[in-house]
């Protein structure tokens, strides 16, 4: 069975997030879960998710990434 694979890296003037199918689905699930948080959870540590190689959820050499729910945007 193939593992989830994500890699975050500098690309031209920004970043690129690359992944296999399972990795991209996992990223989508993270975003969906954050978007479904209750208003009472928005200001708590539940409002974000870290993606980084040291967290064992990104490939080695990935730039650390935080996905954050911010209702003020």
CA nearest neighbour of 66 among 54, 43, 50: 50
Query: What pLDDT, on the 0 to 100 scale, is given for residue 43?
Result: 93
- The residue-averaged pLDDT of 20-46 equals 96
Measured in residues, the chain has a length of 73
pLDDT digits (tens, 9 = 90+) for 5-17: 999 999 999 999 9
Q: Nearest-5° angle of CA 55, CA 59, CA 62?
A: 80
pTM for this entry:
0.88
Which residue, 19, 15, 16, 41, is CA-closest to 28?
Answer: 19
Q: What is the reported pLDDT for 14?
A: 97
Q: Which residue has the tokens 């708590």?
A: 44
């Amino acid at each position: 069975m193939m593992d989830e694979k994500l890699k975050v890296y500098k690309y031209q003037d920004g970043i690129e997030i690359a992944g296999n199918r399972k990795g991209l689905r996992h990223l989508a699930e993270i975003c969906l879960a954050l978007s479904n948080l209750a208003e009472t959870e928005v200001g708590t540590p539940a409002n974000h998710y870290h993606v980084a190689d040291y967290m064992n959820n990104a490939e080695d050499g990935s730039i650390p990434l935080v996905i954050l729910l911010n209702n003020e945007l």
